[in-house]
Structure formats: structure tokens, C-alpha cells
Amino acid sequence: MANLMRRAATSLAQGVRGFSVSAPRHAKVSVLGAAGGIGQPLSLLLKQSTLISELALYDVANTVGVAADLSHIESAAQVKGYVGDSQLEECLTGSKIVIIPAGVPRKPGMTRDDLFNINAGIAMALADAASKACPDAMLCIISNPVNSTVPIASEVYKKNGVFDPRKLFGVTTLDVVRANTFISELKGTPVTQTQCPVIGGHAGITILPLLSQVEPSCTFTDEERAALTVRIQNAGTEVVEAKAGGGSATLSMAYAGARFAFALLQAMNGAKNIVECSYVESDVTDLQFFSTPLLLGPNGIEQNLGMGTLIDFEQEALEAMKPELSGSIAKGIKFANQ
């Protein structure tokens, strides 16, 4: 599994310059929430990809200006901005990938659950629009709390009769990116070659880096393993506090979102052995949604690679996360059906 995951490290570079086993199929990609703190740098990264023919940017304000700015960049993707509910359907029509970073960011002292009442409604409305305008598109949800917003989107797609579990993703790539970076810093491994699968969810203790499966193989003391796991779990808070009221983890999240989108684009174009972790509907555990490494293909998830063999520390952490993750899933499903 880790050997396949090493391919993910090159997703961003390959996605920018393009990759295909034959002639690439250029795709329309829509970003919903494109004028925000994540949406703008994410759109900048996506604009560079030769696999994207059209970049459709939607938000409640300011997207025309963002699109005009990006349109001056010397890359092939055509950019257009869409503003407000009346233009959302046009933005989505024909899209192959829809990425949703829309919503309010975390602020100091705010938990992901604090975001729920605002962001859940936003995610539900945008998922409903996507399910009607481009039901076959890959839907990538960044809006927090991901542990709940992905179940919300799932329920919306099921209600509208278009749910395909292969094509709905909660973007947890940032947890993998952080794990790789922090492990490299601690152990001195080459950062671009360090790969650590991260399973579970996308908040606090539901984030579980599988340090026993890191490649290149590393040895951790019990103290290092515990401290590193907590740092990866709380890395978002680390950024929120460092920005001191100036925002949350927007730039690194934009990078992670682009990396995941490029992985999807490569797989959709026929590239083999494209693996990324993502929070999806799953039967790996007794939880309905769970993040594990996924083998991606032309139609989304080709195979769920599971979580491999866990050491005692990881197994205990898995059991400890289940009540919280289960509650978040139930909260999202209840919201979507009320």
C-alpha cells in the first residue's frame, strides 16, 4: 500500500504539467467558494493544469474579479466567474470535478462543531445544485466539518436518485501532507519521498496517522509516536493560533485540494496506481464513512485499499475515535433529513 501511496507525492507536479497514457481528456472543473481564503489559492493552482480546459469559479461575491485576475495567467484553462444563486447552475453544467471549499473559516477558540450550523447549510445547498446540474461529476468536499458535510452530501444525492459512492470524496489530503512533512522534519527522511497513510476522519482524534506504515520505514519511540500523532491531529489549531485571528489553514489546504484534484484528473485520464486517502462511504469499519487509501480510476474509486495491519497504539486510537466520528456522521445525516 505504501509503495502505491508514493505515487501520490508526484500528483501535484504531474497534474500541473498534465499526464495521460493517451491523448488527455480536458475537463471542466468547478470551484464553489472560489473567492475565499482557500478558493483563491486553490483556483490559482488549478489554473496551471494542462488537464483542465475550463475553470468555473463560483461564490456569492467577488468571483468575477478573481476570474479576471486568473485569466491573465499564461495557461490553457479558460476561466469564468459566476456570482449568486442565479448563475450556479451554469457554473456547474458540464463539470467533471466539483470542489467545494465554501463556508466560514475556523477562528481562535472555535471547534469544527462550531462551524456546523453555518457550513452544513452551505454544503447541503451546493451539493443539491451539483446533484442536479452535473450528477456524474466527482464531488470533492473541503467545507468543514468534513466528518458531517460528506454524509450531508451523500444524503442529498440519495434523495435526488443520483448517488454514486465512487464519486463522493471528503478531502483529507491535508492530514497526509502534514504527516509527511512532520515525519520528515523529525526523522530526516526526504520529504518528497515520505509517505504516511492517514485514516479515520478529518478532525481531532478522528485523524489517525498510521506511523507504523510510513515509507521509508521509520522507528518511533512510544513518546515520539504519541506526540507526533497529537501534533498531526491538532495541526489545524496550530495554524489558527499562529494566525491570531487572521484566518485558518488556507494555503496548505489549497495545496492539498489541488493535489487531490490532480490525482483524480490523472486517474480519469487513464493513469494507473493513483492512490490518495479520502473520507468516503466505506465498509472497512462499522462506521458508514471512513478515510483510507483509495485506488482511483476513470470512474472515481476503483478499490478501497483498507487500513492494513495496525499496531496496538493505532488499534486503541481507532476504537477511541469511533464514538466521536459516529456522532459526527449521525449529525450530518440528521441535518440532511430534517
pLDDT-above-90 percentage for the chain: 86
pLDDT at 3 over 70: no
pLDDT for 286-325, tens place per residue?
A: 999 999 999 999 999 999 999 999 999 999 999 999 999 9
pLDDT for 126-156, tens place per residue?
A: 999 999 999 999 999 999 999 999 999 999 9
Average pLDDT of the chain to the nearest whole number = 93
What letter represents residue 127's amino acid? Answer: A
Query: Which segments of the chain are extended strands (E)?
Result: 27-32, 52-59, 78-83, 97-100, 138-141, 168-170, 198-200, 207-209, 274-281, 289-297, 300-304
pLDDT at 18 over 70: no
- Spatial distance between the Cα atoms of 338 and 334, rounded to a whole number of angstroms: 6
pLDDT-above-70 percentage for the chain: 91
Would you call the peptide bond into 298 cis, given omega within 30 degrees of 0 as the criterion? no
pLDDT for 159-199, tens place per residue?
A: 999 999 999 999 999 999 999 999 999 999 999 999 999 99
| Residue 111 φ/ψ, nearest 5 degrees | -90, 170
Please, which pLDDT band fits residue 15 given cuts at 50, 70 and 90? Answer: low
pLDDT at 20 over 50: no
User: CB of 197 within 8 A of CB of 217?
Assistant: no
Catalytic option among 7, 47, 167, 202: 202
Please, which pLDDT band fits residue 247 given cuts at 50, 70 and 90? Answer: confident
> Nearest-5° angle of CA 137, CA 142, CA 145?
125
pLDDT at 117: 84
| Residue 205 φ/ψ, nearest 5 degrees | -70, -10
Please, which pLDDT band fits residue 23 given cuts at 50, 70 and 90? Answer: very low
Query: Which segments of 256-331 are extended strands (E)?
Result: 274-281, 289-297, 300-304
pLDDT for 49-89, tens place per residue?
A: 999 999 999 999 999 999 999 999 999 999 999 999 999 99
Specify whether 202 is catalytic.
yes
- Spatial distance between the Cα atoms of 184 and 190, rounded to a whole number of angstroms: 6
